[in-house]
């Protein structure tokens, strides 16, 4: 994976199912939706999961409507979005990428070729497909997102980035 560029924070997330992913993402998005442009690149469609969970959780209706406007459908390619909106916007950007290791890496490589600033990239990896690569993933990310929110990796694993390289 390409090293993070200035102005880009990379966050990793590990999930066991699309339901688990959706349950972790919704509270995080709720906290970030008013101050960020949110873009998704999803290998699998989670739109139905999002709609079902939104109907059951206690978010303000205006937040629910903003969340529903995010594209939760599958197979978004970088050339399918308005990259100028991501590049030129004065707002912070939150980019959520979910899928196989190859899919996540491909989208990350394309994003690193853009002149992005003020960006958080949340790379979501399904554990059963990437459990052998978790240490490598951690080394290449600045933070981790789990059910309790965005955390420093050392808060979750009790080690610093340099010691992860030695693992």
The tens digit of pLDDT for each residue in 113-129 reads 887 888 999 999 988 75
Tokens at 51, concatenated: 């709609």
Predicted local confidence at residue 59, as pLDDT: 96
Q: Delimit the domains of the chain by residue range.
A: 8-166
DSSP assignment string, 64-79: HHHHHHS---B---GG
- The residue ranking higher by pLDDT, 21 or 135, is 21
What is the model's pTM?
0.85
- Say how far apart CA 45 and CA 75 lie, in whole Å: 8
Residue among 112, 106, 133 at smallest CA distance from 14: 133
Q: For residue range 27-64, what is the model confidence (pLDDT) as tens digits?
A: 999 999 998 999 999 999 999 999 999 999 999 999 99
Is domain 8-166 given the CATH code 3.40.30 in the classification?
no
């Amino acid at each position: 994976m390409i090293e993070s560029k200035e102005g880009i924070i990379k966050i990793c997330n590990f999930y066991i199912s699309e339901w688990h992913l959706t349950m972790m993402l919704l509270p995080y998005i709720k906290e970030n939706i008013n101050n960020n442009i949110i873009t998704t690149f999803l290998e699998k469609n989670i739109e139905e999961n999002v709609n079902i969970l939104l109907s059951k959780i206690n978010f303000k209706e205006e937040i629910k409507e903003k969340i529903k406007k995010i594209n939760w459908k599958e197979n978004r390619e970088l050339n399918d979005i308005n990259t100028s909106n991501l590049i030129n916007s004065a707002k912070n950007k939150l980019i959520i990428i979910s899928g196989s290791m190859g899919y996540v890496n491909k989208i990350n490589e394309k994003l690193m070729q853009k002149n992005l600033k003020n960006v958080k990239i949340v790379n979501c990896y399904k554990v059963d497909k990437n459990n052998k690569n978790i240490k490598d993933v951690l080394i290449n990310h600045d933070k981790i997102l789990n059910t309790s929110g965005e955390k420093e990796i050392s808060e979750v694993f009790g080690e610093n980035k340099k010691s992860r390289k030695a693992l």
